[in-house]
Structure 1
Amino acid sequence: MSASWNALHFVRPDALWALLVLPLLVAIWWLRRRRANVWRQTVDAHLLRHLLVGRDRRAWGGLILLLLGTAAAIVALAGPSWRQVAQPLWQTPSPLVVALDLSSRVTATDLPPSRLLQARAKLATLLRERQGGEVALLVYADDAYTVAPLTDDMANVALYLDALAPDVMPRDGQRADRALETAVKLLQQSGARGGDILLLTDRADADAEQAAASARAQGFVVSVLGLGTPQGAAYRNGEGQIVPARLEEGTLRGVASRGGGRYARIASDDKDLAALDVLTPRVSADDSREGQGRTWRDEGFWLLPPLMLLALFAFRRRGALAALVMMAALPMALPTTAHAAEGTWWQRADQVDQQRLSTGVDAYRKGDFKAAQQQFEGIDTDAGWYNLGNALARQGQYDAAIEAYDRALKQHPGMADAVANRAAVDAARKRKPPQNNDQNNDQKDGKKPPSDPPDPGKNPGQGNDGQSSPPQDKGEQGQSPPPASGDPKDGQSEGGKSPQAADSQAQAQADAAQRERMQQA
Structure 2
Amino acid sequence: MIDLGPLHFLRPAWLLALLVLPVAAWWLRHRAARGDDWQRAIDPHLLPHLLEPGTGTRRRGVAVAAALAFAVATIALAGPAWRQTDAPAWQAREPLVVAVDLSSATLAADLAPTRLAQLRARLTRLLQTHRDGPIALVAFADDAFTVAPLTDDAANVALFVDALEPSVMPVDGQSPARAIAWSRRLIERGGFAHGRIVLITDHADAQARRAAADARAAGDVVSAIGLGSPAGANVRTPGGGVVGVALDERSLRALADAGGGDYARLSLTGADDAVFASAATRGAGAGRGRDGGRTWADEGARLLPLVVLLALIVLVRRPRIAAAVLVFALLPRPSLAADLWLRPDQRAHRAVDRGIEQYRRGDYAGAAATFARADTADAHYDRGNALAKAGKLEDAVSAYDEALKRAPGMPDAVANRRAVLAALKRREGGRDGQQGNKGDASKSSQQSRNCAPGDANCQTKPQTPRQPQTGKASQPSQAQPPKPADASKQAQADAAQRARMQKAIRDAQAKAAKSATARMTPAQRERRLSDDAALMRVPDEPGNLLREKFRLEYERRQMGGSPP
Aligning the two structures, in what range does the TM-score lie when normalised by the shorter sequence? 0.3 to 0.5
Task: Say which structure is richer in helix.
Answer: 2
TM-score, structure 2 as length reference: 0.42
Structure index of larger Rg = 2
TM-score, structure 1 as length reference: 0.45
